[in-house]
Structure 1
Amino acid sequence: MTRTTLLSSPTESTGKTAVALALASEAQERGDDVGYMKPRGTSLESVVGKTLDSDPMLAREVLDVEDEVHEMEPVVYSPTFVEEAVQGRVDPEELRDEVKTAYDKLADGRGLVFLEGADVYTTGGVVGLTDADIARVLDAHVVLIAGFDGYRSVDGILAAARVFGDRLAGVVLNGVEDPGFDDVEGSVVPFLESRGIPVNGVLPYDRSVAGVTVADLRDRLNATSLTDASHDGYVERFLVGAMSGEEALRQFRRTKDAVVVTGADRADVQSAALEAPGVRCIVLAGGLEPPSAVVSKAREKEVPILSVGLDTVAVLDEIEEVVQHGRKPDASTVDTVRDLLTRHADVDALLGD
Structure 2
Amino acid sequence: MVGLYIGSTTGYSGKNLLAMAMGLKFRREGFKVGYMKPVGAVPHMSDNRPGDADASFIQGVLGLDQDPQKVTPVLVTRDFTIKAFSEDLDDLMPSITDSYAELSEDKDVMIIGGSGSYLSSGTYCGVSGPDVSRALGAKTILVDRYSSELRYDYVLRTRAELGDDFLGVVFNDVPEHYMDELKELIVPFLERRSVKVLGIIPRDPLMGAIKVSDLAERLFGKIISAHAKVDRVVENFLIGTMQVENFMTHFKRHKNSAVIVGGDRADVQLVALEGNCPCLILTGNLYPNDIILTRSEVLEIPVIVVRDDTFTVAKKMEAIQESYKLRDMIKINHGAKLVNSELDYEHLMERLDL
Q: TM-score range by the shorter chain?
A: 0.7 to 0.9
Does residue 103 (structure 1) correspond to residue 100 (structure 2)? The answer is yes
Q: Is the 8 A contact 2:21 2:340 kept in 1?
A: no
Give the SS at the match of 2:279. strand
Q: Which moved more, 1:299-308 or 1:82-91?
A: 299-308
Cα deviation, residue 118, structure 1: 0.6
Taking the aligned partners of 1:44 and 1:270, their CA distance within structure 2 comes to 44
Cα separation, 1, equivalents of 2:89 and 2:276: 50
Residue 324 of structure 1 corresponds to which residue in structure 2?
322
- 1:165 match: secondary structure: helix
Report the Cα offset of residue 57 of structure 1: 1.7
Q: 1:285 to 1:51 in 2, by over 3 A?
A: farther
Alpha-carbon distance change, 168 to 223 in structure 1, aligned in 2, over 3 angstroms: farther
SS of the residue corresponding to residue 200 of structure 1 reads strand
Which amino acid is the alignment partner of residue 117 of structure 1? G
- 2:146 and 2:172 in contact (8 A); partners too: yes
Gaps (5+ residues) in structure 1?
Answer: none
Separation (CA, whole Å) in 1 of partners of 2:73 and 2:305: 38
Mean CA deviation greater in 81-90 or 137-146: 81-90
CA-to-aligned-CA distance 1:257-306 (integer Å, 9 cap, x gap): 344276xxx4x146643434696533468999755433113234553213
Give 2:336's match in structure 1, choosing from 335, 338, 353: 338
Kept in 1: contact 2:46–2:68 (CA 8 A): no
1:50-61 matches, cutoff 5 A? 52-61=51-60
Corresponding residue to 2:110 among 108, 113, 116: 113
- TM-score with structure 1 setting the length: 0.81
Following superposition of structure 1 onto structure 2, how do residues 4-43 of structure 1 map, counting pairs within 5 Å? 4-43=3-42
**Is the Cα contact below 8 Å between 1:248 and 1:269 reproduced in 2?**
no
- 2:269 aligned residue: 273
Query: Residues 176-187 of structure 1 correspond to what in structure 2 (within 5 A)?
Result: 176-187=174-185
Secondary structure at 1:123 match in 2: coil
CA contact (8 A) 1:229 1:299 kept: no
Change (3 A) 1:89 1:290: farther
Residue aligned with 1:35, SS: strand
User: Matches of 2:276 and 2:124 in 1, distance apart?
Assistant: 45
Tell me how far 1:201 sits from its aligned partner: 1.3
CA contact (8 A) 1:37 1:115 kept: yes
Secondary structure of 1:196 counterpart = coil
Per-residue deviation at 1:202? 1.3
Task: Tell me the equivalent position of 1:232.
Answer: 232
CA distance in 2, matches of 1:103, 1:90: 20
Cα distance, 1:135 vs structure 2: 0.5
Q: Which amino acid aligns with 1:29?
A: R
1:205 aligned residue: 203
Residues 49 and 68 of structure 2 are in contact (CA less than 8 Å); yes or no, is this contact kept in structure 1? no
Query: CA contact under 8 A between 1:19 and 1:334: conserved in structure 2?
Result: no
Q: Which runs of 5+ in 2 are unaligned?
A: none
Distance 1:49 1:288, change over 3 A: farther
Answering whether residue 108 of structure 2 is matched by residue 88 of structure 1, we say no
Structure 1 residue 4: deviation in Å? Answer: 0.2
Instruction: Please say if residues 252 and 273 of structure 1, whose CA atoms lie closer than 8 Å, have aligned partners that are also in contact.
Output: no
Which TM-score applies when normalising by structure 2? Answer: 0.81
